Structure 1
Amino acid sequence: MGSVDLNFLFTLAEVQRLMRAYADRAAARYGITRAQWAVLAKVERSEGMKQTELAEQMEMQPITLTRLIDKLCDSGWIERRGDETDRRVNRLYLRKAGRQLLGKLAGLRSEITATALDGITPADAIRLLTQLDLIKENVRHAIQNHEADAPKKEQRYG
Structure 2
Amino acid sequence: MENGHDNRLGFLITDAGRLCGRLFDERAKARLGLTRAQSRVLAYLSWYGETNQARLAETLEISPISLTRLLDRMTEGGWVVRAADANDRRAYCVQATRKARAALAQVLDVGDRVADEALTGFDAHERQMLIGLLHRIRANLAQALASCGTEQA
Which TM-score applies when normalising by structure 2? 0.85
Shift of 1:123: 2.2
Contact 2:57 2:63 in 1 (8 A): yes
Aligned length: 146
Q: Which runs of 5+ in 2 are unaligned?
A: none
Task: Say which one has the larger Rg.
Answer: 1
Q: Which residue number in structure 1 is paired with residue 25 of structure 2?
A: 24
1:109 aligned to 108, 111, 114, which one? 111
Listed one character per residue, the Cα deviations across residues 87-145 of structure 1 (whole Å, up to 9, x for unaligned) are 22211111111112212222212211111111111222121111112112222333444
Q: How many angstroms apart in 1 are the aligned matches of 2:149 and 2:97? A: 40
Q: Secondary structure at the match of 2:90?
A: coil
Match of 2:88 among 75, 86, 90: 86
Aligned counterpart in structure 2 of residue 35 of structure 1, from 34, 37, 40: 37
* CA RMSD after TM alignment: 1.8
| CA distance in structure 2 between the partners assigned to 1:46 and 1:140 by the alignment | 20
CA contact (8 A) 2:50 2:96 kept: no
Q: Which of residues 21, 44, 47 is equivalent to 1:45?
A: 47
Could you say which structure has the greater relative contact order, defined with CA pairs below 8 angstroms and 6 or more residues apart? 2
Matches within 5 A, 1:108-147: 108-146=110-148
Partner of 1:155: none
Question: What's the counterpart of residue 75 of structure 2?
Answer: 73
Structure 1: give runs of 5+ residues left out of the alignment. Answer: 149-158
86 and 142 in structure 1: CA distance in 2 versus 1, 3 angstrom threshold: closer
How far apart, in 1, do the equivalents of 2:100 and 2:68 lie?
17
1:15 aligns with 2:20: no
**Which 4+ stretches in 1 moved above 6 angstroms?**
none
Question: CA–CA distance in 1 between the matches of 2:54 and 2:149?
Answer: 23
After superposition, the Cα gap between the structure-2 partners of 1:146 and 1:82, relative to the gap in structure 1 and judged at 3 Å, is closer
Instruction: Return the alpha-carbon distance in structure 2 between the equivalents of residues 99 and 138 of structure 1.
Output: 33
